[in-house]
Amino acid sequence: MKRITYLLGFLFLAGIMTAGLVSCEVAQEDKFIGIQLWSVRGDMQADPEGTLQQLGEMGYSFIESADYRNGQFYGMAPADFRALVEANGMEFLSTHVYRPLPQEEDQWDETMEWWDEALDAHVAAGVPYCVVPTMDRSAFESIENLDKWVNYFNEIGRLAQNKGVRFGFHNHAIEFTEVEDVVAYDYMLENTDPELVFFQLDLYWIDQGGKDAIDYFRRYPGRFLMYHVKDHEEIGASGTMDFRPAFENAELAGMKYHIVEVEQYNYEPIESVRISLEYLQNADYVLPDYR
């Protein structure tokens, strides 16, 4: 009887050890996923230290900031903000920064001086990517106006390139409307210099604009360095967004980084971004790293 008991005990322990080895072999690798801090803007204003700590602990790999002002990020010197991000296990990879197109010729030099200072702050923070998140609606009133913005982006991109920073543009739905029988987004892609301007494609807003992301990847391969992964609320909450095709065509798109953005919430923002991260971590079509 003792022999049988010992044998059963041995088999039980061996089973646990074997299960443990199998579990280790199939354990999910952490994925390199970013968070746009606009998603937790209230939390960042109230408690940036605590918010970044929570984002790092829940598993985000990098951040994209949404608060650049007067040479600072969230009221901190560039190097100090970077240090805070890194202390919480994340990278300071990208920013959203906006300065409208100067309307008068004599405002051009002042505007470009502003960009010069802003890009110097990026260099000081070691941030490799700077993205403009919107355009004034007047851009869509005529091709002439749209062309001014295209030229503006090319000039910012040239200035950024000279400083070792890459410059990009983030869409909403309006860019997929027609301006004088031309889709504005198409015009932007065709008239910005690929060496100077990349595109950060918001997967939700292109869907809302009635266009197909894969069609754009085929027509403009390699232009979409980043995705904003967004849903109506938390990622996956609407049940209408199919992110699989975009991720399965990441190489065609040129995508290297994908970033969670949440703007409408069913929960507190910090919980909404946690749910969104878990959705992508558990999605079988999202690879661990696209770099």
Q: Where are the domains of the chain?
A: 1-30, 31-282
Q: Give the pLDDT band of residue 104 (cuts 50, 70, 90).
A: confident
> Alpha carbon of 115 to those of 52, 86, 153, 189, 282: distances in Å?
27, 25, 11, 22, 39
What's the CA gap between 206 and 170, in Å, rounded?
A: 11
Domain 31-282 in CATH 3.20.20.150: yes
Q: What are phi and psi of 180, to 5 degrees?
A: 50, 50
Q: Is the pLDDT of residue 32 over 70?
A: yes
What's the CA gap between 62 and 257, in Å, rounded?
A: 10
Q: What is the per-residue pLDDT for 197?
A: 98
Q: What is the per-residue pLDDT for 106?
A: 82
Q: Is the pLDDT of residue 13 over 50?
A: no
Q: Say what percent of the chain tops pLDDT 90.
A: 88
Name the β-bridge partners of 182.
179
Q: Is the pLDDT of residue 238 over 70?
A: yes
* Among 22-36, 76-90, 259-273, the least confident range: 22-36
Q: Is the pLDDT of residue 241 over 70?
A: yes
- What six digits make up the tokens of 189? 């892609």
- What six digits make up the tokens of 184? 């504005």
What's the CA gap between 150 and 187, in Å, rounded?
A: 9
Q: Which residue has the tokens 């069913």?
A: 266
Q: Give the pLDDT band of residue 34 (cuts 50, 70, 90).
A: very high
Q: What is the per-residue pLDDT for 105?
A: 81
Chain mean pLDDT for the chain: 92
